[in-house]
Chain A
Amino acid sequence: MPKQIKKGLPYFLIFSLIFSVVVFGLNFNFQKEGIKVKADVATTTVQVQNAPPAWQVYALEDPVSATSTPTNIGSQVTFKAKGNDPNDDPYYLAVCKGPGITPGANGGQPTCTAGAWCISASTTDETTSTCSYTVLETDSSETYDWYAYLCDAYSDNPQCNSTYSQGSGGSGSPFVVNHRPNFTAISNDSPQLPGANLTWSSTASDPDTIRGGDTIRLYVCSTSGFNPSTGCAAQTLASSSLSASNPQAAYTIPVPKPDMAYDAYVFVVDQFNLAATGTAQGSNSQYTVANATPTIASTSISLLDADGSGNLTITNEESSTTGFMISFQITDDNSCWAVGSTSEISTAIGYVYRTGIGQAACDSLGEANNNNCYPELTNVQIGSCSGPSQWTVNATITFALWYHADPTVNNTPWAAEKWTASVKAVDDDNATSSLTEAWTNGQNEVDMLLALGLLQDTIDYSAVVPGTPSGETTTTVKATGNVGLDETLYGTDMTLSGNPSITIPANRQYWYFATGTAWGSTPTSSAQDFLQYDPGAEGELNCLKTTTTGSPATKNTFWKINVISTQQRGIYYGTNTFIAVASEPAEW
């Protein structure tokens, strides 16, 4: 026996033995039903039943609906799961309200015993199945359990898995519902002035308690457009911070803002931006901006001449001169605009007076004095107004001064003073500003009007006897300006009619201020003198400054002539000149 065969013999024996045992076992010992002997052929059959899909990914909420992330009323709770069917059939995800489910017939949707939150559409095996439930207003509980099943979408003997899934953790059952706050009443504390705070107070609360009480927020919008997530569609007038109940929102009324009623739509949302329910939600809680009293900045007031610059210059003798102006700026927190595109400022009233008189002594009509006080001036021009955003408006009061208004320039009794103005503005609700006096730099001077009139247009000596003084004749000067008057007098020689070479010298005329003075009395030049040629002599006439409008101050000058005894007879003509000179201030 070869050596190799000798070595392999034990292996062969072992293999043969094992083979024999197996063949024997198969034929005799491993058959359950015992040995049946049939003639000819033996047939075997088996029916494998449909198996339900199994969880590949357990059911879950996505997004998570949990205490801190509840699902708002009206929003959807979305469930997801992934099934693995042994037969690779499609399947349903059924999220039931309670345990128990019946597979659908003919591959249809299953039926939850306690009702379903949602059942997915037929889903391909091993893909994620999704179904959603829209939370209803009637879902009053804060939490709802769910039970998820996977069921065959196979028509022949469909199966649901026998064990439901409730997920786990935050994304597991139950889902949490966030309910609307209840918003029942709103009020605001208007009317308020521009620049002031206006507060809306709500009656609102939230029914949820699972989080220890939800917080709510109040929005006040300029229009009814509102999105709970993003807020007011137009202008947000005010919004509150989150609070447990009855939130309040404050609005600082801008300056300027016309006084009228404004729409304000109010909305309450909770901390999860869920809009409230209730009668006040979205209602119009109008607010009213109160009427503000206009003001006038002292610095804006200027007293101006008719041409806008320089001293106030009276240019009409013995009458009034108009065109003088008080310019100023009115500020109104309601703007210069009013409802109906009218003017918020209805009028203004001015008072012009010498500073020595003072505002208190010239703030009513009864105190009017054409010398120094012009109250209640109402010829007002209000400047243009561009609209409700214009805070200030310029205004001008035009007024007249009488010819004897006290001058305040140098060399007058009132040189230490000026003229000033006070102004008050009245708005369309008759609110009146305080009477505001011009700042020092806005004051002005009334200038001197040196003017005289004469009640006579000639000096008529009538018939005179040569060598004998004439009778007394009079000229009367009246002060038709605002200064006291002296006069400078001079004249020409009188010439004989038809022969100008024959003259009566000017100094044959004699002037004086005291009636009855004899011709030729010692001349003083200031009170009596012979008439001189140009430039003449200044007489201290001392005609007072006029103080009564209808009765100008007057003063007489008396005249006599004494022609020489050899003076040729005839009619003589001459010209005397009266030069008005401002008298010394003490003599006004």
Chain B
Amino acid sequence: MKKISFSFLAFLLLFLIFSLSEKNIALAGFGITPPYFKNDNLTRESYYEQKITLVRGDPVEDSKVEIKINVPGANDWISVDKGNSFILPKGEKSFPITLKVKVPKDAPFNRYKGNIRITVAPANLPEGGGVAIALGAQVDVDLNVTKQAIFDFLIKKVEIPDFEEGHKWWIFYLPGKITMNITLENLGNIPLAPNKVQLAIYDYSKKNLLESQETKKIKEKVLPFQTGIVRAFLPTKTKQGVYWAQFKVFKDKDIVAEGELPITIHPYGTLVGYKGYEGFFGLTLKDKIIFSLIVLTPLVLILIFVFIFLRKKKKKKK
């Protein structure tokens, strides 16, 4: 009897230990990043999208994901690239989805707040009864639809790739072509680029200013709510060598980025893949005028001559 009760107690203890340890095994976690979907500068017909990454700690099996959108007044504008229900494949610790909002053209100008809940269904129901646990996470939504055109951006990076020095073309001088690659994040709701870019070239010692250039002609634009690169082109007469370039990028009249970068100017014709100023379109405005005068003047004279000749001929016939 004593033997039996000892064995029974030992079994019970082991069972309890086993049971407790089972209970302490963490359910695979779940999360999202970022947990918000916000935009202050939407306007009618704006399109905005944002990647949300779903993360799981232990993706040993497929899991069903449910997405519920609860943004009063804007539920119909918001969609998910993967749909509102899909399978998280096993093995994928992180799984990106894209939330999209397309503001209708007649949307009231208003702020739309709510949330989007993303839940993962439990893998199995508990044996012997009880409550299974499903995990989820909430995306806070805050979308503002404004009638104002918002011109706003952040400069993320400025680069100046190597380029070649200028060269002679006929009787003219084609300057070297500086390309400033400006990576910017458009926070506004219209396509945009910086208003102005200034560049000052200093010698190696940074003591002597050699040349200053600026341009307001930045043709490329970054679409609303996107990050992209625009290029500013500036002419330079600085010869081959290494220099320091001090730059300023303007948003309206404000400097939104300034700094200095090392630049290398190569001899003409030595940089593989480089495309500098070429031909007529590479000339400065002054040289374009001179070129036009040189080329057009004889042409105009010839035309005048032909016109007079034909007129005289006509008169003779009469």
Contact = CB atoms under 8 A, between A and B. Distances in A.
Contact of A458 (B29, B35, B131): B131
Contacts of B157: 302, 441-442
A483 B133 CA distance: 21
A447 B33 contact: yes
Given A313-B53, A316-B55, A300 B135 contact: no
A577 B119 contact: yes
B262 A331 contact: yes
Contacts of B57: 317-319, 453, 480
Contacts of A319: 57
A299 B25 CA distance: 49
Contacts of A329: 261-262
A576 B74 CA distance: 28
Interface of B: 23-36, 38, 51, 53, 55-57, 68, 70, 93-94, 117, 119, 121-122, 125-126, 128-138, 140, 154-158, 204-205, 227, 241-242, 257, 259-262, 264
A225 to B, nearest CB: 23
A452 to B, nearest CB: 6
Given A451-B32, A452-B31, A579-B135, 13 more contacts: A298-B259, A299-B260, A299-B261, A390-B264, A391-B242, A441-B157, A451-B33, A455-B27, A494-B131, A535-B117, A579-B117, A581-B138, A582-B35
A302 B131 contact: no
A451 B131 contact: no
A302 B185 CA distance: 14
Report, nearest first, the 7 A-B pairs whose CB atoms are least far apart. A451-B31, A299-B259, A453-B29, A571-B129, A450-B35, A459-B131, A315-B94
A580 B125 CA distance: 21
Interface string A567-578: 000011111111
A477 to B, nearest CB: 10
Contact of B227 (A302, A310, A316, A572): A310
A439 B227 CA distance: 19
B33 A449 contact: yes
Given A299-B260, A461-B130, A455 B24 contact: yes
Interface in A268-317: 297-300, 302, 309-311, 313-317
Given A255-B204, A455-B26, A456-B27, A392 B264 contact: yes
Given A480-B29, A480-B31, A450 B130 contact: no
A478 interface: yes
Contacts of A575: 121-122, 125, 131-134
Nearest to A561: B131
A391 B264 contact: yes
A580 B139 CA distance: 9
25 contacts: A255-B204, A297-B259, A302-B157, A313-B33, A316-B94, A317-B31, A318-B29, A391-B264, A442-B156, A448-B36, A449-B55, A456-B24, A456-B133, A461-B131, A475-B133, A480-B29, A491-B131, A509-B131, A535-B68, A576-B134, A577-B135, A578-B135, A580-B35, A581-B138, A582-B140
A448 B33 contact: yes
Given A459-B133, A578-B133, A481 B126 contact: no
A488 interface: yes
B126 A573 contact: yes
A427 to B, nearest CB: 16
Contacts of A572: 129
A56 interface: no
A181 interface: no
A504 to B, nearest CB: 10
A33 interface: no
B230 to A, nearest CB: 15
Contacts of A378: none
Contacts of A491: 131
B206 to A, nearest CB: 11
A291 B52 CA distance: 49
Contacts of B130: 458-461, 573-574
Contacts of B26: 453-455, 478
A317 B262 contact: no
Contacts of B29: 317-318, 451-454, 478, 480
Contacts of A383: none
Nearest to A256: B242
A460 B260 contact: no
Interface in A73-108: none
Contacts of B23: 455-456, 460
A356 interface: no
Nearest to A559: B131
Interface string A459-483: 1110000000000000100101101
Contacts of A579: 117, 119, 135-138
Contacts of B56: 317
A201 to B, nearest CB: 25
Interface string A303-343: 00000011101111111000000000101000000000000
Contacts of A578: 133-136
B32 to A, nearest CB: 5
Given A439-B259, A451-B31, A581-B138, A315 B126 contact: no
Contacts of B94: 315-316
A458 B125 CA distance: 8
Nearest to B246: A299
A534 B117 CA distance: 11
A497 B129 contact: yes
B137 A580 contact: yes
A297 B259 CA distance: 9
Contacts of A581: 137-138
Given A317-B55, A329-B262, A451 B133 contact: no
A329 B134 CA distance: 48
A40 interface: no
B159 to A, nearest CB: 8
Contacts of B35: 448, 450, 483, 580, 582
Contacts of A57: none
A331 to B, nearest CB: 5
Given A315-B33, A449-B33, A576 B132 contact: yes
Contacts of B33: 313-315, 447-451, 481
B30 A452 contact: yes
A574 B242 contact: no
A479 to B, nearest CB: 10
Given A391-B262, A491-B131, A309 B31 contact: no
A411 B259 CA distance: 31
Contacts of B51: 310
Nearest to A580: B137
A114 B318 CA distance: 104
Nearest to A442: B157
A316 B94 CA distance: 7
B131 A450 contact: no
Contacts of A494: 131
Nearest to A456: B23
B185 to A, nearest CB: 8
A163 to B, nearest CB: 65
A409 interface: yes
A195 interface: yes
Contacts of A457: 25, 27, 122, 126, 132-133
Contacts of A309: 156, 227
A455 B261 CA distance: 52
A450 B128 CA distance: 32
